[in-house]
Amino acid sequence: MAIGERDKDAESVANDARIPLLRDDQNGSEEEKVGEIWVETKKLWRVVGPAIFTRVTTYSILVITQTFAGHLGELELAAISIVSNLIISFSFGVLLGMASALETLCGQAFGAKKYDMLGVYMQRSWIVLFLFSILLLPMYLFTTPILKLFGQPDDIAELSGAIAVWVIPVQFAFCFIFPINRFLQCQKKNKVLAISSGVALAVHVCVCWLFVYGLELGVIGTMATVNVSWWLNALILFTYITCGGCPLTWTGFSIEAFTGLWEYAKLSISSGIMIWLESWYYKILIVMTGNMENAKIVVDALSICMAINGLELMIPFAFFAGTGVRVANELGAGNGKGARFAMIVSVTQSLAIGIVFSVLIVFLHDQIGYIFSSSETVIEAVDDLSVLLAFTILLNSVQPVLCGVAVGSGWQSFVAYINLGCYYVIGLPLGIVMRLVFNSGIKGMWAGMIFGGTAVQTLILLFITMKCDWEKEAQKASVRVKKWSGSATRN
């Protein structure tokens, strides 16, 4: 494709984002309203459809790894589940959240046709995330003593510590690939992300089989396979960007990337805290199992539930991405009504999908454990937790989408405070009281965290987004785009 044709295509996409979704006439016919919903749905799913595939396939890399380990033994499953659901998940949540700052900046800049700034923003994100990744290294190096401090059995802690060292390269893959994903998503280049993640997953399955059954490298070799898959994905996408795939938004490495780092870091940290507070919330359940009877069984059952929840959560997270892009594009184009309408359509559709999956969990409650384990004891424990898993999936089908609205609007700091209060001031203490005071075990703690934290946070975010003055937010977005692009130009 010629560069002129690419420029024309990019202009068409940006102009499409500027088309008002809602007419000023609020008394339009039902046919017009249905037509508006259909137009917004198509725009939304141009991001959400490929994003679901991309996120499910990338998350499946960890799930498949956990599945291979589960058939090696209960200890191996427990150890690799802790590394996946605690150590890697911690880095994943923090760095993914920090990279989400690009959805605000790149989305609004793309809507305002400030194409040259997208590449600069991405390079700033690489720098900030890389520096932050170095600060996270002690968590990998001292996994064993950290787990023992929280009461995990010695055998699980020792094996988890040995595994964690081998997945350090994954953390640096995160800080490289997450900004690339946001950079491409904001330009509607989602098919590239889907193809790349599909190739990485296919390679991962083959490498896992080779390491586990062919070379018999055991649980450490199994976990090390995630390094190959994630870095392959990163290399494919980087090659696409630098070899002409984004001629308007990638103009090469720029010294401007080293300017405005502190301002960008503050927005990134706000985004990181917002997402991390969500992604880490239910992982605390696994940490709290260390001093329970049959700790291996409880850890295995919870890890399986968290893996299923995490896999399904990739769908709301895809809506998170799609909503962030749509809201940011509309606000950047000065269309506050369109941003509000995009939010309503996205929340409704994500909730409908969440209801379907919650019902499936209820009906398949006694079978879902077989995917990860052949131990009847573990499968029974998973069955016992299935109702709570269904409620978690249902609530999580709404709140990530509302957080996507926050990202698209630039509210990260505000929502971070809401998440902190709901999750760690209300939900977690209520869960601890349910477990220790009312002696209801891990089920009571999980229930307290669901209804005390997630439900309250979802209601607060719903209230805020429905009462928001979207035209005022569009004005703020215009000021933000001018400020960031002007700052880069001066520097």
SS3 call for 333 = coil
- Residue 439: φ, ψ to 5°: 55, 40
pLDDT at 71: 63
285 domain residue, yes or no:
yes
Q: What is the CA radius of gyration of the chain?
A: 22
Residue 358 belongs to some domain of the structure: yes
Q: What is the pLDDT of residue 491?
A: 45
Nearest Cα to Cα of residue 173 among 197, 189, 192: 197
pLDDT on residue 70: 64
| Contacts (Cβ under 8 Å, ≥6 apart) of 111 | 14, 17, 18, 328, 329, 330, 331, 332, 333, 477
2 within domain boundaries? no
pLDDT of residue 433: 86
Please report whether residue 384 resides in a domain: yes
**What pLDDT was estimated at residue 291?**
60
Residue 13: its pLDDT value, please?
A: 45
Q: List the helix and strand counts (H, then E) for the chain.
A: 22, 0
pLDDT of residue 355: 93
> What does the block give as tokens for 159?
């094996």
**Tokens coding 134:** 């170095």
* Count of other CB atoms within 10 angstroms of residue 161: 22
User: 24 lies in a domain?
Assistant: no
> What's the distance, Cα to Cα, between the start and end of the chain in Å?
34
Can you tell me the distance from the alpha carbon of 59 to that of 111, in angstroms, rounded to the nearest whole number? 29
How many distinct structural domains can be found in the chain?
1
Is 57 domain-assigned? Answer: yes
Answer yes or no: is 23 within a domain. Answer: no
Record the tokens describing residue 175, joined without a space: 């800080």
**The predicted structure's pLDDT at residue 16:** 47
- C-beta of residue 316 within 8 angstroms of C-beta of residue 52: no
DSSP-derived secondary structure for 297-328: HHHHHHHHHHHHHHHHHHHHHHHHHHHHHHHH
pLDDT in tens, the chain (491 residues): 444 444 444 444 444 444 444 444 445 566 677 778 888 888 888 878 888 888 888 878 877 877 776 666 667 777 777 777 677 777 877 787 788 777 777 777 776 777 778 888 899 889 989 998 898 898 889 988 888 887 777 888 888 888 888 888 988 999 899 999 888 887 878 889 889 999 999 998 888 888 877 777 777 777 788 888 899 999 999 999 988 888 888 888 888 878 778 877 877 777 777 777 776 777 777 767 656 666 667 777 887 888 788 778 888 888 887 887 788 778 777 778 888 888 888 889 999 999 999 999 988 877 877 777 677 888 888 888 888 899 889 988 888 888 778 766 767 677 778 888 888 888 888 888 887 777 777 788 888 888 888 888 888 888 888 887 878 877 776 776 666 555 444 44
Q: Are 474 and 336 in contact (CB under 8 A)?
A: yes
CA distances to 149, 369, 458 from 397, rounded to whole Å, are 34, 22, 10
Containing structural domain, residue 227: 34-485
Tell me what pLDDT residue 22 has. 40
Distance CA(391)–CA(93), nearest Å, equals 22
In a domain, 29, yes or no: no
157 and 144 Cβ atoms separated by less than 8 Å: yes
Where residue 216 falls (left for φ over 0; alpha for ψ -120 to 50; beta otherwise) is left
Using CA atoms in the order 67, 282, 300, 319, what is the torsion angle rounded to 10 degrees?
Answer: -20
Measured CA to CA in angstroms, residue 76 lies from 83, 92, 158, 219, 340 at distances of 11, 22, 11, 6, 47
- H helices present in 333-440, as ranges: 336-363, 376-395, 399-409, 412-419, 428-436
